[in-house]
Amino acid sequence: MSNIRIAPGQGTEAIRLDWLTTDQNTLDSTHDLVSAVLMAIGTDRRANPDDELPVDGDTDLRGWWGDTDAEEIWGGWQVGSLLWLLNRAKITDENYKYGATVARAKTYLIECLQPFLDRKIATKLEVDVQRYNEKSISASIVLYRGNKSLISLQFQDLWDDIS
């Protein structure tokens, strides 16, 4: 069974993922791997109980209930990334108690894409995260199979609203 193709849209508060349709008005099921990667990056993974949440006093660790025991039940993995923890975050350096924001973003991206390597869907992952300007971070992600690039994604305004 094919997956539904999704593509990022521009939202004011968050990145929005939309289902794409074909000219025949049916769901587009091409680009399965790109859709899976976008889901991994663009959805909220459940935070750990000791993670600092973006809003003081908030107790919502987010995540998807289907991730509970996903490995044991169906051989799956936790879907999504912890990038949402950077909501409202200041772009800090390595001296901040939780580390540099750019390094945290890179760690979160690698964590959410690691299952593609673990399950041999891809053989190599390159993630480059840099401060784009005073208030934003950009990311470049390339997944490889052998020496050929499978997917190359650029996210320039992903964190435009970081303080």
Q: How far is CA 139 from CA 24, 51, 72, in A?
A: 34, 22, 32
Q: Is residue 20 part of a domain?
A: yes
Query: What is the residue whose two structure tokens read 């997917």?
Result: 151
Q: How many domains does the chain have?
A: 1
* Domain that residue 45 falls in: 6-155
Q: Is residue 73 part of a domain?
A: yes
In this prediction, residue 50 carries a pLDDT of 93
pLDDT digit string (tens) for 63-96?
988 888 888 888 888 899 999 999 988 888 887 8
In this prediction, residue 1 carries a pLDDT of 41
In this prediction, residue 105 carries a pLDDT of 95
Q: How far is it, in rounded angstroms, from Cα 49 to Cα 43?
A: 18
Q: Is residue 130 part of a domain?
A: yes
On average, the pLDDT of the chain sits at 82
Q: Is residue 16 part of a domain?
A: yes
pLDDT digit string (tens) for 22-49?
788 776 666 778 888 888 998 999 999 9
Q: Is residue 94 part of a domain?
A: yes
Q: Is residue 160 part of a domain?
A: no
Q: Is residue 161 part of a domain?
A: no
